[in-house]
Structure 1
């Protein structure tokens, strides 16, 4: 699995987790969903994704979107 796919899996998992936390723990966890969405939008324009940088440091092979 390369960084591109791993970023999608990580972002999707975090969105689902934040929805569950918002529903069952506290309504303010919705801001985690907002943060994830904003981060995905800015990475689409800039090509910079903090999760991709962390995965790169962990030695995951790069794809074509995040280098």
Structure 2
């Protein structure tokens, strides 16, 4: 059975483990209809449009 020849230092171990926990912020895009920030590939929460078509009827009208 393979056995490590030397002890792995805490710094080396923690550097390796820290890569798992990196998170990136979600990317936002502007809605072409109203200009509001929204998540990509989602219906705009402000105007209810997706890809130039009204998907959700707005409450204003």
TM-score by length of 2: 0.23
Query: Which has the bigger relative contact order, CA under 8 A and spacing at least 6?
Result: 1
Larger CA Rg, structure 1 vs 2: 2
Between Structure 1 and Structure 2, the one with more helix by share is: 1
When you count strand as a share of all residues, which structure comes out higher?
2
Alignment TM-score, normalising by the size of structure 1: 0.22
